[in-house]
Structure 1
Amino acid sequence: MSHNHEELEELLSRLNGPDFTAEDLQTLASILRNDPIALDCYLDHVEMEAMLRETYGLLHHPYAEHDRQTARPVSPRKVTRSRFLAGITLTAALLVAAFTFWPVKPQPAFVDDEPQSPLPPAAVPLQKFTQSDETVCTISHRTEAELYYRDGNREIRVQATALPAGQFRLENGIMGLAYANGANVILQAPVQFQVLSEQHLFVDNGRVNLHCPTEDSRGFVIETPSGVATDLGTEFAVHVKADRAQEDEFHVFQGEVALKSKLTPYELNLTDGMATRLDHDTATPAGIDVDHNRFIRSFESVSSDYYDQIMRHEPELYYVMADVGDGRTLRNEAENGYDAKIFNPYQRVLHWGPGFNGGTALRLDGMRSRVYAVAPDFPKPEGDHLTVIAWVFAESRVCWGSIAKNWEHGPDPARRGQFHFGLFEYSGMLEASINDKDNNEIFAIDSVPLPLNQWHHVAFVVDDGALRLYRNGSLVAETPCNGLNGNRDIRPLAIGTKLGNDSRSPAVKNNGFWDGRIDHLALFHQSLTTEEIRQLFDTGVRSALVSRSDFPHLESERTQSN
């Protein structure tokens, strides 16, 4: 047992007694501030004492042993309250010590908000940073980013773009960091990290992507609690799971990474398409599948080929699902107005995720977070010709899962707008439906459930004689119809849900909140041919393969469709 721990044990034995002095309190605060293990011991002590007091009364009562034998079990409510009491005890001790004995640090020059709440101890990297206001990197991109700087035992909101060495926490949003050597880092909240130098970043918790396109940026290091990853001319990502899993993952997309375990002699060279996990207890490497769908790797699509081909068909609406600066607007690339707005009512999920060909997509989380987007109005087709296309990624098959809908609820034909596009009931099969000139609701439904955790190119086409449904370049369903006759007074277009009959908020029943991602949604006042749909799919796959290498299902389906 270390001297600190012996002293802690002696202090705890006198903590609630009359001989516990102000000097003892100062000593206790110093130990807890500088020794994370001692802090854990202290937390265990006060929690246990509070629970025993709650259950049995005073610990040193002469009849404590008798009471312990006859006492009733502790209820969950009492345990919860005891944890609360323990938290109060700890907070009071630390606050008294902090304001009585600790010197007040000057606020760093690059922050301008008031200090926030005290923090738990951060993980300790192999290399420590030097406290300075000198810029190490700059914020190159921020989407609803809520960044905090850690100054001792307090947090301060960061508004500036130049970051010095230090400890940071990204609470919300997405953020890009640019280094003078050419290295680029993308962080997806929540992330806790430490900027150590121009070549060294420590990740305490969260997801980080690193791209080193220049010679000067090679050799950049991302350190985690269990390992040290050194760039050898590459793009790779790190996911530190510091809460329950207690493990770090390293995913290499391009190039090569030298990975060294911090607790074992293992050293690995990871190349394209390789990934490894290190647990925090032993830091022993274990191979895993590389995951291209977890990390945002760029803020724009890597290839413009798909975008260019869509624009050649002159869409009325085209949402590429890229942030335009405010984090909530989906800009219509057709430049005729009709932008859509993202609604994230509970702020439980980051509503941006990796796109199908790099860049970002609209990320939705089903009923858990109820994220969706709405264009208050959009151009309705004048005749019988309509095409809607999107890339979709489903993590589950929600009942009536909604991709995009201009529709209300109920059997009355007056409740039917221009189209209803998503999944059919509980089957999970892709479907599209319209109201034709005979006021019949016409369905086109796929024959198999939509495969999960894969990107799919989906489309439907209406002409004066049929409704056709496509998945990954292939015609999967076709139903005769008598043109198109949707109610034009139903104005909004909902993305990721279906609106209720007031056309202002999601329907109470069968709202179909999408669980997954939606990307590159386009609408045309023309009926694209089967060949044109297939060409768009082919171009999309080629552009996706430029930025990632895990599209075997799309590549095989593209070959079959040819």
Structure 2
Amino acid sequence: MDKSRRDQFLADWLEGSFAGDGPSEPECDEFLNELKSDPEFRRSASRGLLVRRFLAQKQIPSGGFTEEVLESLCADSSETLSTAVITNLQEARRKQQRLVWGSVGLATTAVLAFVVLWVFDSTVGKRNSQRQGIRVIAAEGVGTLDTEALRQGKPVQLRRGILELDLDGKARVVIEAPASFTVVSRLHVRLDEGRCFAEMKKGTSGLRIETPSGDAFDLGTKFAVEVSSSKDMEVHVFDGTVEVSDGTDITRLTEGQGISVGDSGALSRLSADSSRFVPRVPRSDLKRQPLLYWSFDEGTGDTTNATGRDPNLELATGTLMSASPDGGGPTWVPGVVGAALAFDGSSGWVNTRHPGISGDQDRTIACWVKLPDERQTTVSTMVGWGMGKRNRGLEKACFLESAQSHPEHPEHCGRLRLVAGNRTMGTTNLRDGKWHHVAAVAMAGKHGSTILLYVDGQLETADRNSEPTSLDTTTDHRLSEPIQFGRHLFADRMLLRGAMDEVYIFGEALSGDEIRQLIQP
């Protein structure tokens, strides 16, 4: 039995996730022989099993699960347990003809006794329904999903997009590409690489996220796990309690805490950062209407009107502004739909009196933008509002912009970026002289906001490695600026060079389908 199949077999037994009538007799015999002949495999099996058993009983040995503790536990009542195993298996054979394990003598290791006894109790009468508890809730940008592998508990490669799953109606997990994972059973996910957000239904617990560097056991909470390409593991707890096992010790984490487990077993504490994880895939709601919408279809004059469901629409009327005493400013040009506004980067922007969305409310900003094919040494802000101070590190504002060319990161030039609690950047260079539809979805989180970016209706692979802060936009401070187009709020000379059309602001997190509907003329 090869190592991957052996490990899968053990996981299936522990979780009770065998399909149909269970494994064949030869496969059972082969697995038993592996346990008898491989001391390392026995130790690994005992560690995983004992940790699960004690966590289920909410009993943690003093000092954690050290090798000495494991050996002591395994040595206790070995003969009694082995005898019990034989009796139970004989009864199982009479009830289920397929469970024929052969001779298991009193010399069988104590860990095997633990494994078989625990699995027998947890799997009889349940096997036919185990995989039925796994359901896809939503998916965004994943392309073709290997649903057969997902259904059969085989490894799944998620090369792009976000996948949200329901596990047995008790847990919800969101996996973000690039990721490699396996839904081993209804409450057991193996994450070999990638990011995973998990939330247990209130009053439930028991979800296990297994990684190459350790396991995270949920005790009723919201948490996230990340496995890097080097197989290091990070666990972030946003609510409740999680037990993290590195194979030797157990570390208990509570709200706001996190831990990093290196491949060598080195541990380091960290603060929970929800901005690096996607907590949900936004769902479509056909009743959603824009809070504010500027079509820019006037084609003439020095104002542009807004429509929408905001009760203060009159404050959203835009005035074309000029930074030059000689006049100038935005000009009317043909747009994607009707007219659009062009900005020359030196003399104008559009100002409104509307304060914008405040606090930590979810939001979506979308528009068409055309940027010239050139390198830019400053950011190009399309839409922005809120409070900030120059050079003070104080930002409680919301900006949709394209990034500047930076000597240390020249590849950032022209990439879409939203600054709203944290800075999230996409991968597409918008500076090609063509119209692109861009959108940003910001979702509030207690330990940092999460941002999704779209270019031409496609979800971007986002860089979320900025310092986490909450989605907190201040609109009622003396330093707060109203909604403006084509101007960085706190740097007067940073004006947009390009064109804009069809600007939308929603007070909700739109789904990918809803964003793609905005692209249609």
TM-score (norm 1): 0.37
- With normalisation by structure 2, the TM-score equals 0.40
Relative contact order (C-alpha < 8 Å, sep 6+): which is higher? Answer: 2
